[in-house]
């Protein structure tokens, strides 16, 4: 029996499906690692590496099964160390019973799946939390909003990027994005007062903008929140090629009195075009621009975006601000609203940060919005 395979994409992750479930996975309790090379040349290379390092294996229908006391994790770790990146992409690890089909995961993906078992346990136990990072209006010396960020506080603190990467590798990015958003709104509903918060969403996971905004509206109402409190923040918006899709979401938000923000807005004509066409309430600068704002090219980009935003009634927010010198350079370019470690890290319970000028008492904070 010759195994045939075809490629599929799950939340942007390229995997291979095997067209048969008649694989011999070995006796119960016996750990075998089924490796599927894409080509005969890759098969020869793989066999050579396994032989050289005294790893027992057997061949069955195009699949190389490794076995022995070293363990699957150590075998994959060895292959990742020896094989080049293109070679690693040409070797799949067959995983049983994915939607009825065995799946050949790229070697690196299998490794990350194995190393991120904490994600599956946290999902099963509902262990994820929403933390809040302050966004500061430096002209008023106070916090005017918080960004909701997904966290897992377990054996260590897991940040948003590694959590989302674990979800993406599993093909669960869309469902997890919705889970994180609902968790954020539920967490905000438990907070005292009516703070303005920015809740992230990944545009590529939203297939039906009408259903998406309607669901968010229902969640807001269910938790007793005001729609004016909530700003939906499009993560990675600068990389979106379909501006019509984002524009539809932005328009639906405006109709329902929900704020809309573009995150990670970067360099080039796309950034200004997005700001003009979508008319967001907030535009968050890519942290790479903020970190290098002293350079003429980055400074010119920021100045242009500030001018475009002012005409559109949008507010520019600089992310990743960690130095006082960066604040001063941003002031010179017309940016007043900022976010970063200089003003406060994400915390489970949001607190007002101290005024930037500690000798000046905080007299409240206006709502930073041009609308």
Task: Check whether 87 has a pLDDT greater than 80.
Answer: yes
More confident residue, 14 or 265: 265
pLDDT above 90 coverage of the chain, percent:
62
How much is the pLDDT for 243?
83
pLDDT band at 70 (very low <50, low <70, confident <90, very high): low
Of the candidates 151, 224, 214, 227, the residue with the CA atom closest to the CA atom of residue 189: 224
How much is the pLDDT for 240?
60
Task: Check whether 11 has a pLDDT greater than 80.
Answer: no
The distance from CA 277 to its chain's CA centroid, rounded to whole angstroms, is 24
The mean per-residue pLDDT over the stretch 80-109 comes to 82
User: In this predicted model, what pLDDT tens digit does every residue of 314-330 receive, in sequence order?
Assistant: 999 999 999 999 999 99
Average pLDDT across the chain, whole number: 85
**How open is the CA angle 244-246-249, to the nearest 5 degrees?**
110
User: In this predicted model, what pLDDT tens digit does every residue of 128-151 receive, in sequence order?
Assistant: 999 999 999 999 889 999 999 999
State the architecture of 118-338 in CATH terms.
Alpha-Beta Barrel (3.20)
How much is the pLDDT for 68?
59
How much is the pLDDT for 105?
84
How much is the pLDDT for 367?
59
User: In this predicted model, what pLDDT tens digit does every residue of 183-209 receive, in sequence order?
Assistant: 999 999 998 888 899 999 999 999 999
The mean per-residue pLDDT over the stretch 281-300 comes to 94
How much is the pLDDT for 15?
44
Of the candidates 337, 286, 298, the residue with the CA atom closest to the CA atom of residue 314: 337
Q: Are 19 and 3 in contact (CB under 8 A)?
A: yes
**How open is the CA angle 54-89-113, to the nearest 5 degrees?**
80
pLDDT above 70 coverage of the chain, percent:
81
How much is the pLDDT for 61?
80
The mean per-residue pLDDT over the stretch 164-168 comes to 94
User: In this predicted model, what pLDDT tens digit does every residue of 18-28 receive, in sequence order?
Assistant: 444 444 444 33
How much is the pLDDT for 5?
43
Could you tell me the pTM of the whole model? 0.81
Residue whose tokens read 């006796």: 27
The distance from CA 356 to its chain's CA centroid, rounded to whole angstroms, is 30
* C-beta neighbour count of 125 within 10 angstroms: 9
């Amino acid at each position: 029996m010759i195994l045939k395979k075809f490629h599929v994409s799950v939340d942007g992750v390229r995997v291979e499906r095997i067209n048969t479930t008649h694989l011999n996975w070995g006796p119960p309790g016996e750990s075998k690692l089924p490796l599927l090379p894409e080509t005969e040349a890759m098969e020869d290379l793989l066999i050579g590496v396994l032989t050289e390092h005294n790893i027992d294996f057997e061949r069955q229908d195009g699949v190389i099964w490794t076995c022995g006391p070293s363990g699957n994790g150590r075998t994959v770790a060895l292959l990742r160390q020896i094989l080049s990146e293109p070679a690693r992409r040409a070797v799949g690890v067959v995983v049983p019973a994915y939607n009825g089909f065995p799946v050949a995961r790229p070697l690196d993906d299998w490794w990350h799946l194995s190393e991120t078992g904490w994600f599956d346990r946290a999902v099963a136990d509902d262990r994820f939390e929403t933390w809040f990072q302050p966004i500061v209006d430096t002209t008023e010396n106070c916090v005017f909003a918080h960004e909701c960020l997904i966290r897992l506080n377990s054996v260590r603190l897991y940040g948003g990027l590694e959590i989302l990467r674990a979800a993406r590798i599993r093909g669960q990015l869309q469902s997890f994005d919705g889970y994180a958003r609902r968790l954020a709104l539920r967490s905000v509903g438990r907070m005292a007062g009516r703070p303005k918060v920015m809740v992230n969403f990944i545009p590529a996971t939203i297939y039906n903008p009408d259903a998406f905004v309607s669901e968010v509206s229902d969640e807001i109402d269910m938790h007793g929140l005001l729609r004016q409190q909530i700003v939906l923040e499009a993560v990675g918006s600068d990389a979106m090629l379909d501006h019509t899709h984002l524009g539809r979401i932005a328009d639906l938000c405006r109709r329902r009195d929900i704020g809309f923000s573009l995150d990670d807005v970067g360099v080039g004509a796309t950034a200004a075009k997005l700001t003009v066409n979508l008319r967001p309430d907030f535009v968050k600068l890519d942290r790479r621009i903020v970190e290098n704002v002293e350079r003429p090219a980055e400074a010119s980009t920021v100045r242009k975006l500030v001018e475009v935003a002012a005409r559109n009634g949008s507010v520019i927010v600089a992310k990743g601000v960690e130095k006082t010198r960066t604040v001063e350079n941003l002031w010179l370019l017309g940016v007043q609203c900022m976010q970063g470690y200089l003003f406060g890290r994400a915390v489970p319970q949001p607190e007002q940060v101290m005024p930037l000028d500690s000798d000046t008492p905080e007299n409240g904070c206006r709502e930073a919005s041009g609308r």
